[in-house]
Structure 1
Amino acid sequence: MLRIDEVSRAYGQTQALSSLNLDVPAEARLGLLGPNGAGKTTLLSILACELAPTSGRVILEGHPVATQAGARQARRAIGFLPQKPGYVPSFTAQETVEYAAWLKGMARRERGPAARAMLDRVGLDAVRGRRMRALSDGMVQRVGLAAALVAQPRVLLLDEPTVGLDPAQRLQFRSLIAGLADVAVVLSTHLVEDVAVVASEVVVIDEGKVRFRGSPEELAKAGAVGAPGDSPIERGYMSVLAGATQRVDA
């Protein structure tokens, strides 16, 4: 479905990603874990075809994305919810999602019904006429999710989607993501509990490299004796970061 081959990305002298390989199969539920500064946001921006790699290539459905025109076309198949989704404060929730539909190239007659259907899907039909500036943080995130899904993408990329949400909002957002069908999901976070709930496979990235790939259960089993953490999966994650164990099948 979506794959990167030997992708590197540098910012001046800082190497954010280093010869990284990653595939996202159709309808995958992939959790991307890593500490702040590990390269997760850079990786998602490259997967979303919004940032070009310094070297390596992005491949969508067997076709390399090699030009700006190709990147624009690829973005129509990819939904991306950044950590802090941008919006026009004076827009309503409906207008915000319709604008996202326009950016994805949807026909005028399709935008309104598609936006309303997607807002209903994320539980916001009742506030679709409310201005974005009047919405809570949790509602803004759900509008962002509706905008990312409105064009029915084949891949959905989520960058730290629950950061800043209260516990109830976080649980609600996780439930929404877990209930999605017919779309591959990549959830990037540093919150291990989000991955434990949503993902069927986990990738741990640190210093721009993949350190582990396996199921949540396998990550839990990777925990070293005495490793810090409040749960087996947290102890496995901390052990991988500490270099106590490593399993990469990508």
Structure 2
Amino acid sequence: MNAAFQLAEREGPAGLSMRRLAQELEVDVSILYRLFRDKDELILALCERTIEIELDEIGAAPEQEAWQDTLRRIADVTWAYQIRFPAITLLSFARTTGGPSEARMVELLLSAFERAGLPPAQAVLFYRTFIDTALGLCAHSASLSTLAPEDREKDDSAWTRVYSRLPERQYPATTKHIHDLTAVTQKAIYTSAIEAILAAAEHAAAQHANRLPLITPPLAE
């Protein structure tokens, strides 16, 4: 696993193969096929290892911790991980392993949304929205960070190099907001999306609580 992490981060997602990993370890590739049926099984094992590392950093959710803060900590660790391991993020972000580490992560996330007071169907929907949004935006950031330096610079400068020169009469909204557009960071977008999901979950939980019938205590005999 450690060698696969290092190989992918050094040579990019496309550089990870069973044969290249065998060369890295200086073993015959047949040995790897005794451990993993194919490359996809290796990638799923990397996914599990990724989630395990994140869970270790997240730790348990203290009883007194607000559910929103639990989810914010998960989001922060997920973002920090893609900065450290962009290639592994790109290999693993869309996969479902069904393994023990993933099961623990699912339980942690669902428990947090349950503590919000959401009904089961909405807790599941917000859980999926939260994790898919977080992983998708992390993969987007990881993809940018793995670009060649000249390509990344081209993308980064597009707002000032292209959009700031658009004619105001034809693009009034864009030119009005050009300074703010150039200032937006990937992390700001990520944080905004996470907070929007938490706010929506709070709103849904409040609506659900307001619909609950009042429980009238029994009359004393």
TM-score between both structures, scaled by the size of structure 1 = 0.28
The structure with more radius of gyration: 2
The structure whose residues are more often helix, as a share, is 2
Could you say which structure has the greater relative contact order, defined with CA pairs below 8 angstroms and 6 or more residues apart? Answer: 1
TM-score between both structures, scaled by the size of structure 2 = 0.30
